[in-house]
Amino acid sequence: WTFAQSGDRNDCSSMKAGMFLRKVKSRMWKRLRHYKLQEDCKTIAYKSSWAITSYSTFSISDVEAVREGHQSEALLNVADDFPADHCFTLVFRGRRGNLDLVADSAKEAQAWIQGIRVLMENMENMDESTKLDQWISDWFLKADLNKDGRINFKEAKKLLKMMNVDMNEEHACCLFMMADKSESGTLEDQEFVEFYKMLTERTEVLDLFQDYSSDGQSLSQCDLEEFLREEQLEGEGSYEHALQLIDCYEPSDTARKNHSMSVDGFLMYLTSPEGSIFNLERQGLFQDMSQPLAHYYISSSHNTYLMEDQLKGPSSVEAYIQALKRGCRCVEVDCWNGSNGEPVVYHGHTLTSKILLKDVIATIANYAFKASEYPLIVSIENHCSIEQQEVMARYFRDILGDMLLTNTVEGVSSELPSPEALKRKILLKGKKIGKESESPTGEVSDEDEAAEMNKDSPASESLPTDSKKSKQNLCKKLSDLMFCKSIHFHSFEHSRMSAKPNEMSSFSESKARKYSKEAGSDFVLHNTRQLTRVYPSGMRTDSSNYCPVDMWNMGCQIVALNFQTAGMEMDLNDGLFTQNGYSGYILKSEILRKKERLFDPENPEEREDYHPLLFSVKVISGQQLPKVKQKDWSIVDPLVRVEIYGVPLDQVKQETKYIDNNGFNPHWNETLQFKIHTPELALVRFVVEDYDKASRNDFIGQYTLPFTCIQPGYRHVHLLSKDGTSIHPSSIYVHIKITEL
């Protein structure tokens, strides 16, 4: 396709001609840069006004969204200097910062806003094979230093090194000459794509294809049906499904008309979402959403306002936007007295920066239901004076309007409402004054996370503990807006006798762990009725995370993590919430919802219907793994580790050998086997690392999914970066077998 096909010629031509736009980082930092769309309509180059030739570039495929107007902190700060219709923000995938730009006129701003949106849509609509070609062309552009659209063999070799391809020189030279149709000793863009494809032919896929092909040339509809039944374990409807796959993935018109599939089509299917390890039937909304709230895991963020650490880093409304866009359904707001009667949000008693509560609420109102329609819980820690609490109450009511759920459930029902019943509603959680209070204020005990953290911190252990709980005054107007009431946890016995469904206790990770070890099944039973929130220990000032699986095993619903910190813990959170339409709500396994039959995660063999499974993963090969170190000469030595997370008995890891110097198409052909005691609670994480005998292995990519979402057979595992974003086309190719023991 070209840009012209989309009928937006003018936008494209003005973008291609290039334009000076002002890049804004803060009130003080506003500089002119020259931005220009490259001929490929896929890359934007930019340079500072004083740089003579050196342009930097970014790809349109890295842009996740274009926001118009003053929709970022930097642009809100300069709102008085630049009209909204001159301003726009490019939001990038992953944790890369936004790019805030100001054009000279509304017309110029629109040319870029509309232009980039059309280009993004074109990228979205590309099929898998076009995406691969696109990826190869992007690399070609990087290597073509003199920009004449050609590269010679030496440059091609250097480029392959950058792409993490280590190849036999004679073999590559031979293929290079075959690809050089014009016999010029150089390859043009499309010739290089062909060269790359010849070089990357997948022999292991070809062998499998030939095992099932009756004539060795193609798969007939019957051949493909047999493959789907025998290997992919598809039952009924395999014959019809075979035809759908041919129609969808076969590039050759002739083969499609003959209802047959070539090896190219077969590879397209295997690398497509349908051929991936994740069962597509569980990707959309497939769970019953009409059960009480306490029956669901809820994707939850801790100290949502923080972008970095817990002591001195920035607070930002951008952090709320990022969390909400990732499907988070429980965010935290810590409110403190600010100047001029304006409550502020920050991590109290630290040097983290402050943001206005009204900006946070406006951001929540704007983004609450963009990723999921299901209810959003706002957990409020309130340290404000009565006067500023009244301001808080007014903001919540006025800014959230009809979205705010105010009619509380006391005395109405014995259970909390369901996510379905609460769609598009925002629920506030915090301290409440008892019903009987008629006065405009009341006292509540002050035992929230801030108080707990002071107990956790090493300095406080030497202090005498004040046996009388400190009290806090609470304004009735704010108290009345709370849907969920924060209460102090006494014991499981006490809560079984007296807790109301909308009462919720918070546990630090260490407390939650202690209860899970001492009274696992009591904790599980408690969580069939009550919501439980778990938060990271106060010692984690670097915003590190704890493993959420230990808490999910107990049925804890609101397991709050620092969303801004990448790593295994967030991979598990993303993995659990990838299913069920990214709704941020996952129905807990039946063993954690049954009130009459107790399940103890510490002793999974004792349950009535104990059926362990044998999970066997043959790790066959890897494809185009990204380089870890940016040194020209380094090529990765990859190994694959399969990690199981679940009940304590299931927590195991196994890894393959490493392969020397091959990130391009390493072959392991190793089988790893696991006994899974409680499949319903297990998550599987595939990690690829660069082996290093002298120091810690370097992370290359990972993919995490619930065990219940795994499809058997020959599958590709599409790797994600540390940030959880796609690193297309990097993958590992596996064969999965699950059998009853």
| Structure-token match 């058997």, residue found | 712
CB burial of residue 110 (10 Å; 0-12, 13-18, 19+): middle
DSSP result, 268-285:
HHHHSGGGBSB-GGGTS-
- Tell me the longest C-alpha to C-alpha distance in the chain: 91
What is the Cα–Cα distance from 108 to 205, expressed in whole angstroms? Answer: 50
Contacts of 161 (CB under 8 A, 6+ apart): 632, 633, 635
- Asked if 374 and 584 count as a contact pair (C-beta separation under 8 A), the reply is yes
CA dihedral (588, 486, 550, 329) in degrees, to 10, reads: 50
Backbone angles phi, psi at 316, to 5 degrees: -165, 145
Q: Does the annotation list 31 as a binding residue?
A: no
The response to whether 676 counts as a known ligand-binding position is: no
- 637 annotated ligand binder: yes
d(CA 159, CA 150): 12
Instruction: Establish whether 431 is an annotated binding residue.
Output: yes
Tokens of 638: 């990859």
Q: Does 302 qualify as catalytic in the annotation?
A: yes
Active-site entry in 70, 86, 295, 347 = 347
Token representation of residue 579: 């299913």
Residues in CB range of 722: below 8 A, 6 or more apart: 566, 567, 699, 702
Report whether 161 belongs to an annotated binding site: no
| 347 is known as an active-site residue | yes
Residues 70, 1: Cα–Cα separation, whole Å = 33
Tokens 């599939």 identify what position? 261
Contacts 24+ apart (CB under 8 A), 130-134: 131/728, 131/729, 132/729, 133/193, 134/42, 134/61
Alpha helices, H only, 385-491? 386-400, 449-456, 476-479
Where are the strands (E) in 548-607, listed by range? 558-561, 585-587
Q: Establish whether 387 is an annotated binding residue.
A: no
To the question of whether residue 14 is assigned a binding role by annotation, the answer is no
Task: Answer yes or no: is 653 a known binding residue.
Answer: no
Is residue 332 annotated as involved in ligand binding?
yes
For 271, 299, 527, 580, 588, the CA distances from 556, given in Å and listed in that order, are: 36, 11, 6, 19, 10
Dist. CA 104–CA 14, nearest whole Å: 13
Q: Which residue has the tokens 């239901």?
A: 369
Long-range contacts of 228-232 (CB under 8 A, 24+ apart): 231/713, 231/714, 231/735, 232/711, 232/712, 232/713, 232/714
Q: Residue 658's closest CA among 650, 667, 649?
A: 667
CA distance 656 to 638: 9
Quote the tokens at residue 508.
């630090």
HEC string of 159-202 equals HHHHCCCCCCHHHHHHHHHHHCCCCCCEEEHHHHHHHHHHHCCC
Q: Rounded to an integer, what distance in angstroms lies between the CA atom of residue 632 and that of residue 488?
A: 58
> What single-letter DSSP state applies at residue 3?
G
Picking from 204, 197, 213, the residue whose alpha carbon sits closest to that of residue 261 is 213
Cβ-Cβ contacts under 8 Å for 627 (sequence gap 6 or more): 162, 164, 634, 635, 636, 663
Find the length of the chain: 741
What is the rounded distance in angstroms from the CA atom of residue 600 to the CA atom of residue 521? 5
Is 661 a known ligand-binding residue?
yes
482 φ/ψ angles, rounded to the nearest 5 degrees: -75, 125
Active-site position among 70, 86, 295, 302: 302
Question: Is 382 flagged in the annotation as binding?
Answer: no
496 in a labelled binding site? no
CA dihedral of residues 448, 453, 456, 461 (deg, nearest 10): -90
CB 545 within 8 A of CB 562: yes
The candidate with the shortest Cα–Cα distance to 604, out of 673, 546, 530, 682, is 682
Query: Can you say which residues are annotated as belonging to the binding site for substrate?
Result: 429, 431, 506, 533
Annotated binding residues, as ranges?
303, 332, 334, 381, 429, 431, 506, 533, 635, 637, 661, 690-692
Residue list, annotated binding site for Ca(2+): 303, 332, 334, 381, 635, 637, 661, 690-692
- Residues classed as catalytic: 302, 347
